[in-house]
């Protein structure tokens, strides 16, 4: 069979699976996307903060994260929690996370994350133009209320410059030049002009339209097990393919097990709340340093998101942590009141988190025809187009635009 026109089955219709299917369809392959929940209610993709973030070149596993995390564990409203439980997979994940939380790992990963993000940003812009949906290319504000926060972020800006990325440390005057639309209670911050934002629903709809236009198909079914060329669904149907791509987010764990692969991955639970008609809407998206909260204007709506709870597959909602997000947002944006959030239904999503903060992207060990694409943690939306691009190069047996060895799904054995 030639490299184009292959028959490909993608398991998972979240932002990663859809971006892969979109890129493969455009490359001339016949693609089917298998999704067990077409409403994406249980996915991590629909309610996220919609940020495209070249500024995120520091992986989740970094120095200081563990000590900060331990302090936060004591506060029920804090943005981080790890639910202790007797689970060998969790113990292994924590051990690997601790091993990678060092400066050397940050240095080793920064250039790769930069290159992945910049290519993905370019592909996001092209896609928004081709598929005609709104993407705001005005940057991201990292807002700080404390001097300590400001000093830390100024250091990040320095590192960004060393990597050739744009970052500007800003005082309040500059802040209001950039963001004339909202009152902000902060000492200052950093503006990352290359970051962008969008509404993930627009992105998802555009990808689906593009896949259908290119002749792709959608199968509403749950993949239960697989071998090298066949997926068997929960209802017993068999679907064969030349290549199978596993992009099921946190649930990829279950299918990877069929391949004898123990992917270390934990669900990183986060919440978002969307104000349907805020009185005022900021122009730029922002991250609130001290509360680790993400704020994103989406058309007339405003989304506020946060928390990282390492919690297995538990999707229950912690009211104190939700309250922590709201209080933090209102303290930075004083025109808003906690009561504005009364009666809103919170959204919850499980980020697929690897222990080194890097995605899993590559062929499954010993299974040439199976590709794994998951583990994007906090950057799945941002890195979705580049993931699609790289998977397409793998399927087409082309050399990849970037060296993928650090993303090898078998890197932890
Ligand atoms: C609060 C919050 C805010 C975030 N903000 C951002 C942000 O601003 N920018 C950013 O880049 N990232 C952000 N993220 C992270 C981002 O949302 C995730 O990285 C991304 O959605 C992961 O996408 P995915 O397609 O891998 O997984 P998912 O979205 O979980 O999709 C996987 C899909 O696979 C399906 N599936 C699984 N197993 C099977 C099976 N066996 N058969 C059939 N279907 C199956 C599932 O039903 C699901 O729909 C945020 C996350 C959270 C929680």
CA 169 to centroid of ligand 1, rounded, Å: 32
Any bridge partners for residue 240, and if so which?
A: 230
In a mutational test of the pocket of ligand 1, which residue from 43, 263, 270 has the highest number of ligand atoms less than 8 Å from its CB?
A: 43
Query: What ligand 1 atom has the least distance to the C-alpha of 18?
Result: 25
Of 77-86, 111-120, 208-217, the one with minimum mean pLDDT is: 77-86
pLDDT tens digits for range 390-411: 999 999 999 999 999 999 999 9
Angle at 152 between CA 149 and CA 157, to 5 degrees: 120
194: in domain: yes
pLDDT at 4: 67
Of 78-87, 91-100, 202-211, the one with minimum mean pLDDT is: 78-87
What average pLDDT does the segment 341-358 reach?
96
What average pLDDT does the segment 102-131 reach?
97
Task: Report percent pLDDT > 90 for the chain.
Answer: 90
Any bridge partners for residue 281, and if so which?
A: none
Give the confidence band of 285 by pLDDT, cuts at 50, 70, 90. very high
pLDDT at 2: 45
64: in domain: yes
275: in domain: yes
CA distance 243 to 188: 50
pLDDT tens digits for range 153-194: 999 999 999 999 999 999 999 999 999 999 999 999 999 999
35: in domain: yes
412: in domain: no
Q: Token digits for 205?
A: 């709809």
Of 391, 393, 398, 410, residue with least CA distance to 16: 391
Q: What is the CATH number of the domain that holds 90?
A: 3.50.50.60
**118 pLDDT more than 60:** yes
285: in domain: yes
pLDDT tens digits for range 21-36: 999 999 999 999 999 9
pLDDT at 355: 95
Give the confidence band of 3 by pLDDT, cuts at 50, 70, 90. low
CA 218 to centroid of ligand 1, rounded, Å: 18
Q: Is 54 in the pocket of ligand 1 (CB under 6 A)?
A: no
What average pLDDT does the segment 327-335 reach?
97
CA dist 155 to 100, 110, 191, 289, 391, Å?
A: 21, 14, 13, 14, 34
pLDDT at 102: 92
311: in domain: yes
Cβ within 8 Å of residue 410, ≥6 positions away:
261, 362, 364, 365
CA 108 to centroid of ligand 1, rounded, Å: 26
> How long, in residues, is the chain?
413
CA 16 to centroid of ligand 1, rounded, Å: 7
CA distance 71 to 309: 14
* 8 A C-beta contact, residue 64 and residue 318: no
CA dist 67 to 10, 60, 62, 180, 235, Å?
A: 39, 13, 11, 37, 47
- Number of structural domains the chain divides into: 1
The residue contributing the CA closest to ligand 1 atom 35 is 12
2: in domain: no
**Which DSSP category does 32 fall into?**
E
CA 227 to centroid of ligand 1, rounded, Å: 24
Dihedral of alpha carbons 179, 183, 189, 192, sign: negative
Give 214-260 as a DSSP string: TT-EEEE--EEEE-SSEEEETTS-EEE-SEEEE--GGGHHHHHHHTT
What average pLDDT does the segment 206-235 reach?
96
CA distance 212 to 105: 41
The range of the structural domain enclosing residue 149 comes to 7-407
């Amino acid at each position: 069979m030639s490299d184009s026109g292959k028959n490909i089955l993608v398991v998972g219709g979240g932002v990663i699976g859809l971006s892969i299917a979109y890129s493969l369809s455009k490359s001339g392959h016949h693609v089917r996307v298998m999704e067990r929940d077409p409403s994406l209610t249980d996915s991590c993709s629909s309610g996220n903060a919609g940020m495209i973030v070249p500024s995120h070149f520091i992986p989740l596993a970094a120095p200081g994260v563990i000590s900060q995390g331990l302090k936060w564990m004591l506060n029920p409203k804090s943005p981080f929690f790890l639910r202790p439980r007797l689970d060998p997979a969790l113990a292994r994940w924590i051990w690997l996370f601790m091993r990678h939380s060092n400066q050397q790992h940050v240095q080793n990963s920064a250039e790769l994350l930069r290159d992945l993000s910049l290519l993905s940003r370019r592909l996001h812009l092209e896609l928004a133009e081709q598929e005609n949906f709104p993407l705001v290319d005005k940057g991201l504000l990292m807002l700080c209320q404390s001097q300590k926060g400001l000093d830390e972020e100024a250091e990040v800006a320095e590192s960004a410059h060393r990597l050739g990325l744009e970052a500007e440390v800003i005082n309040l005057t500059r802040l209001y030049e950039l963001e004339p639309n909202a009152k902000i209670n902060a000492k200052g911050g950093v503006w990352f002009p290359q970051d962008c934002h969008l509404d993930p629903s627009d992105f998802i709809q555009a990808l689906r339209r593009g896949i259908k236009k290119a002749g792709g198909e959608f199968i509403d079914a749950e993949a239960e097990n697989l071998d090298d060329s066949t997926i068997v669904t929960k209802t017993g149907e068999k679907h064969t393919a030349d290549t199978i791509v596993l992009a099921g987010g946190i649930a990829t764990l279950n299918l990877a097990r069929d391949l004898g692969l123990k992917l270390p991955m934990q669900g990183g639970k986060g919440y978002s709340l969307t104000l349907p008609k805020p009185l005022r809407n900021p122009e730029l998206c922002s991250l609130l340093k001290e509360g680790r909260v993400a704020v994103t204007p989406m058309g007339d709506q405003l989304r506020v998101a946060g928390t990282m709870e390492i919690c297995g597959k538990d999707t229950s909602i912690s009211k104190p942590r939700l309250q922590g997000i709201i209080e933090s947002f209102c303290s930075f944006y004083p025109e808003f009141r906690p009561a504005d959030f009364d009666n809103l239904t919170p959204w919850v999503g499980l980020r697929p988190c690897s222990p080194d903060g890097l995605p899993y992207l590559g062929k499954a060990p010993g299974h040439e025809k199976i590709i794994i694409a998951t583990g994007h943690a906090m950057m799945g939306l941002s890195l979705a187009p580049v993931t699609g691009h790289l998977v397409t190069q793998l399927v087409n047996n082309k050399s990849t635009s970037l060296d993928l060895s650090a993303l090898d799904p078998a890197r932890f054995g």
